[in-house]
Structure 1
Amino acid sequence: MNHIKILMVDDHPIIIEGYQNVLLATKQDDQSLQIDTAHNCDEAVAMIEQASKKYPYHLCFFDISLPASEDGKYASGEDLALLAKKLMPRTKIVILTMFNETFRIHNIIKEIDPQGFLIKSDLTSMELADGFQQILKSPPYYSSTVNNYLKKTVSSDIYVDDINRKILHLLAQGIRTKSLNEYIGISTSGIEKRKKQLKILFSVEDGKDETLLKKAKNKGYL
């Protein structure tokens, strides 16, 4: 019998119940599942730390949006995923999120490199069941939204670092250049310099921010 120890972290108990029911109903005959659940960062940290000492989890499911820990050290599922990777390096990490914006997807893949990445709006019972088995046997398994985003960026010949991505993302939200330094820890002149570089990278001939954003969107950066 293949005993699989799982941690599921989501702040909505009914969602966790749904995941549990799907996995238990679709598991293979030779699999037995032990599913622990947590609803916030403090509960999850305690479970990860305890499991890492003796019986690490085979699989951890982390929702991205979670109530932060009391000490403020852990503020999201991303923080928990990084802790789990550090304490239980062989554990497979699955990210579940409502966020489907390209900036966030890029960051999660770059920082966490999860074995599973599921966008909740893509998720059906069948996809969760299939994804679970694939993550166990031959990861990674990514939702269609994630795969489409990856195809776009792989086909793009432009490399944009995290700060430049953030600049594009904030401009697209309508935030003015002079206010960007409130969100990004560099000076306004530093931001202006990066915007110029971006306009060269994306071949923006008219110098307009609107054109830059349009071209960045076409390349899958927004």
Structure 2
Amino acid sequence: MLTKHLFLVDDHPITVDGYKNLISRTKTATTDIDFVTAYSCEEAYNRISEKHNDQENFDVALLDISLPSYPARNLQTGIDVAKLIRHYFPACKIILLTMQSEPAIVTTAIHEVNPEGFILKNDIDATSFVTAYQSITLGASFYSNTISKVQNNAIIKKLNFDAIDLQILLLLDKKIKTKDMPNYIDLCLSAIEKRKTNIKNQLLKDKGNNAAIVTAAKKYDFFKFIKNLAFLT
């Protein structure tokens, strides 16, 4: 029988019990689940050390971000615990859970941990929690709606596209050819092409056509942002 080793960390024991009950529903006749629990950064550090010393691994870790700290090991939050798990158990899938959606917290967690799952607790119920857990264990990633919005807004702000750049994106979405864009934007063709190249370089890691640029922009909800701008009214 295949055993999955799960690590559950939350400072509320009743929440940990809830996770255990929900995840236990995913067991099959050929799988079993071994739960290890902790309720603070210090307890988490001890459980991680024990697992590592026993030359065993965690397959999945569910971590609350807000945890009692462990200053002796410089573990202040669940983000620090997640980084420790990344170090000792690189293959472990990490799911961060939180009641906090402040951009600074979300962007820090994504940058420093890059979790396979990131869930605002208010975004999900029991059914969607199980669905998210199963999709993550099968290799997908899952960020709940609020977390995705915060992440996308941070990306948009970082890209710092101005109104003309956003107009170019809108025209691309409407399938307007680049050579015809001077009819819509008060810029010469060479200036528009230079801006479009910059947009593509920032949105796409690899080369792509106009459709690929639009697809990348939609991934980050640019068009929801664009529709509220004054030049569209």
Question: What TM-score, normalized by structure 2, do the two folds share?
Answer: 0.64
* CA distance in 2 between partners of 1:154 and 1:8 (Å): 30
Which sections of structure 2, spanning at least 5 residues, go unmatched?
A: 162-224, 227-233
Question: What do residues 61-95 of structure 1 show as CA deviations (whole Å, max 9, x unaligned)?
Answer: 11111111152621110110111111111111111
Shifted more, 122-131 versus 27-36: the winner is 27-36
Shifted more, 31-40 versus 20-29: the winner is 20-29
TM-superposed CA distance for 1:28, in Å, is 4.1
Corresponding letter in the other structure for 1:98:
M
TM-superposed CA distance for 1:139, in Å, is 2.6
Aligned to 1:158: 160
Aligned to 2:31: 31
Q: Which has the greater radius of gyration?
A: 2
Superposed, 1:1-222 pairs within 5 Å as: 1-53=1-53, 54-69=55-70, 71=72, 73-156=74-157, 157-158=159-160
What SS does the corresponding residue of 1:36 show, helix, strand or coil? Answer: strand
* CA distance in 2 between partners of 1:87 and 1:3 (Å): 19
Aligned to 1:205: none
TM-superposed CA distance for 1:126, in Å, is 1.1
Question: What do residues 105-124 of structure 1 show as CA deviations (whole Å, max 9, x unaligned)?
Answer: 11111111001111111121
Question: What do residues 151-199 of structure 1 show as CA deviations (whole Å, max 9, x unaligned)?
Answer: 334455329xxxxxxxxxxxxxxxxxxxxxxxxxxxxxxxxxxxxxxxx
What SS does the corresponding residue of 2:25 show, helix, strand or coil? Answer: helix
Q: RCO (CA 8 Å, sep 6+): is it higher in 1 or 2?
A: 1
Which sections of structure 1, spanning at least 5 residues, go unmatched?
A: 160-217
TM-superposed CA distance for 1:103, in Å, is 2.1
Give the count of matched residue pairs.
161
Cα separation, partners in 2 of 1:102 and 1:70, compared to 1, 3 Å: closer
Identity within the alignment, %: 29
Instruction: Report the aligned-residue RMSD.
Output: 2.0
What SS does the corresponding residue of 1:26 show, helix, strand or coil? Answer: coil
